[in-house]
Amino acid sequence: MDKKYMDLPSKTKRDTLVLTSIILVLSWGVLYLFLEYQFKNAIQEQFQRISSSTERLFDINLRNSARSLEYVLDHLVAENSLQKAVAEQNYEQIKSVVMHYYSDIKSIQSGVDILTFRSKEGLTLFRAHQMEYFGDYLNKKRTLILDTDKYQRSFSGFEVGNLEMTYRITKPIFYNSVYVGNVELGISPSALLKDLNTVFKTDAGVVIDKSLIDIMLNKNVIPINDNYLLIEDNKNLKKYFSLQEHSSSDSYKVDMNIPLKNHLSETLGYLVVGFDMSLVAKKDTEFMYRLFFIIMAMMSVLGIIHHLGFEKMFKYFSKQVYTDHLTGLLNRHALNDAINSKESRVLILSNIKEFSLINELYGVDVGNEILIQVADAFSDFAQKNALDTYRISSDEYVLLKREDIFDEERYFVLIEELHKTINSLKIFVHGIDENIGIEIYSGIAFDHSHSLEDAQMAIKKAKKQSLTYVMYSQNVDTKEQSQIVMKVKRTIRHALEHKNVVPFFQSISDRDGKILKYEALVRIIEFDEGEKRVLYPSEFLDISINSGLYIKIAQEMLEKSLAFFINRDEKISLNFLPNDFFNPSIMNALMGAIEKFDSPQKIVVEITEQEGIENFDRLAKVVKKLRAMGVLIAIDDFGSGYANYAHILELKPDYIKIDGSLIQNILSDNDSKILVQSIVRFAHELNITTVAEYVENEEIFELLKEYGVDEFQGYYFGRPTDLINS
């Protein structure tokens, strides 16, 4: 206790102690209310975490069950005997094939409530779960079945039945490549909750939109609100959320945030999960009281410490928290506090060029000495210009200043002076014979709480463009582009998971207009709020290549395109980038598909490239192997990149596709006319068929025929079309 305090009169001491006691008592009251508030929030947060875990577990169970059941269904509908039985509407034959698979399905998911086979007219042929023949037209108007019949493809999603909710999966059934009917499988949502009670103490139910059912039916339904009814429940969800008027208590909480969507992504209802939080609330309350009494004791001790020099201790610990221990500058915590204030500030972020090389060459100790000397230089510069100095990471320094109006020109001069000062340093370190010189990059930002992130983006731009510094602007900001890329990645992954990567086919015709073959062009089908949207390669292909999703897209295109054309008379033309031929996954998929194809000569492999091939010899070997398997080879975009005449002589393709930019300009550009005629003469000398892309109108078509072009592709003959689903 300092001398000044010891000399105080006794009454003053007593008054000070009384005041301290009053402050402590008031603090205890505030503390109690605060802790009570915080622990109620803590219970709510625990509920939110448990709810989130429950939602994830439900989603995982749903996806895993659906994936496993779809796998079994795929094998089931692939059975030739089943296909024939459905085509002939033979109840006994369907039953004999299905019941073995039904046992497998029940072993995977005991909650399977529905396994129904229908003809293409909607006639219910067989229900495995009831082993009955119905022979009526059940559920004919249901969208899920209508869409399965219409698009002849698989769909999945929740559907409302007779006051019950089930997750349905449909698969089309084909016999001799002709659509003959479908199979529908249904899972009760309660089966997807089987793991919940092993982890949490829960009740569960389902609420659905009132508009989807006849509420006048004499069923045990409970009105939840103006829009939803509880139709499936476990113990009436603890007597309807603990009698409603107490629903805000800590003892019982309900999560209604798990949407149950149909195959068109329309929300039909919600999974309701109730959690008994009474034990958690009791434990948290007990812990709150223990913590309250502990803090009361600590506050009493702190009150005494205050008289013994609390302010001095506070300053010491604050210094430890807000100071960089190596350089003595303010640290990242101090900077965060400064830039989160409401004051406008200019922030200059600098880092040392290639500092990691200094550590590698001289060692960490020398690197630390350099950081200290650089920090001193920054600190001196800051003092001269009324700036605050921070070191926020290994080799990153920040200068910060409060400014109401930002004068760009003045700060351009200031940062030039900063770079001149730091770059002219000659750093001497004991044990190193030479003076060490450094250089820095800088980024400048102004005005708001994200200024550090903005300055980091500016530095990134400076490094990329080999500049010493860059001032932040919207042109520097990459957040929006990053958000777009992440959204497209999610769209691609969703499309791959739901089989929505589809080939569109554009016809290629001869001089008489007869269709000879189709080129497969990749598209992604996206359903947004039930609305169908087609994504083109320009929207996702580059991002798929950079994110590693391209291989799966290529494999999906191969599988669907060749499967569709296996029984057609026309040839199918497939596009590949040169690097695809060096990718084992894509090549294995292609060669495996070729081996299964009855007529490999109907497959045309197009090699597409705009900028060049790093290993042409390796490409030529792969092409030779493909040709030996019987497929045809085409060079795409000839006249616009690597596809020069020497390469043509070595690859000896069956087709040359003339670059579309030459065809588009052929009516107005004399050079394009000359080049197209040259390509046609060259190809005919080598007995290579020529194909012209981008044939948009009759005038171009007639001119190209005059030049001797053999085949034609473009909007004049037809746009790319989804032949599979149309």
Please provide the DSSP assignment of 77-93 as one string.
HT-HHHHHHHHHT-HHH
Separation CA 186–CA 167 (nearest Å): 5
Residue predicted with more confidence, 308 or 410: 410
Residue predicted with more confidence, 107 or 534: 534
Question: Which pLDDT does position 384 carry in this prediction?
Answer: 93
Name the band, by pLDDT with cuts 50, 70 and 90, for residue 706: very high
Domains and CATH numbers, the chain: 47-287 (3.30.450.20), 332-477 (3.30.70.270), 483-712 (3.20.20.450)
The arithmetic mean of pLDDT across residues 178-194, rounded, is 82
The arithmetic mean of pLDDT across residues 611-639, rounded, is 84
Separation CA 444–CA 349 (nearest Å): 6
Residue predicted with more confidence, 160 or 95: 95
- Supply φ then ψ for residue 142, to 5 degrees: -70, 135
Question: Which pLDDT does position 341 carry in this prediction?
Answer: 76
Separation CA 441–CA 467 (nearest Å): 8
Tell me: the pLDDT tens digits for 188-197? Answer: 776 766 655 5
The answer to whether residues 262 and 159 touch, using CB atoms and an 8 Å cutoff, is yes
Question: Which pLDDT does position 514 carry in this prediction?
Answer: 94
The answer to whether residues 675 and 662 touch, using CB atoms and an 8 Å cutoff, is yes
Name the band, by pLDDT with cuts 50, 70 and 90, for residue 179: very high
β-strands 228-232, 501-509 pairing: unpaired
Question: Which pLDDT does position 130 carry in this prediction?
Answer: 60
Residue predicted with more confidence, 276 or 122: 122
Angle, CA 64 vertex, CA 61 and CA 69 arms, to 5°: 115
Q: Two tokens at 454?
A: 């903005």
Separation CA 207–CA 215 (nearest Å): 13
Please state the separation of Cα 530 from the chain's center in Å: 20
CA-closest candidate to residue 424, choices 387, 380, 367? 380
Tell me: the pLDDT tens digits for 364-404? Answer: 888 899 999 999 999 999 999 999 999 988 899 999 988 87
Question: Which pLDDT does position 216 carry in this prediction?
Answer: 38
Question: Which pLDDT does position 57 carry in this prediction?
Answer: 78
Please state the separation of Cα 69 from the chain's center in Å: 25
Residues β-bridged to residue 398:
349, 390
β-strands 178-187, 228-232 pairing: unpaired
The arithmetic mean of pLDDT across residues 434-457, rounded, is 83
pLDDT at 7 over 50: no
Separation CA 171–CA 179 (nearest Å): 11
Name the band, by pLDDT with cuts 50, 70 and 90, for residue 69: confident
CA-closest candidate to residue 189, choices 108, 271, 107, 254? 271
The answer to whether residues 347 and 399 touch, using CB atoms and an 8 Å cutoff, is yes
pLDDT at 622 over 70: yes
Residues β-bridged to residue 155:
170
Burial of 616 by CB count in 10 Å (0-12 exposed, 13-18 middle, 19+ buried)? middle
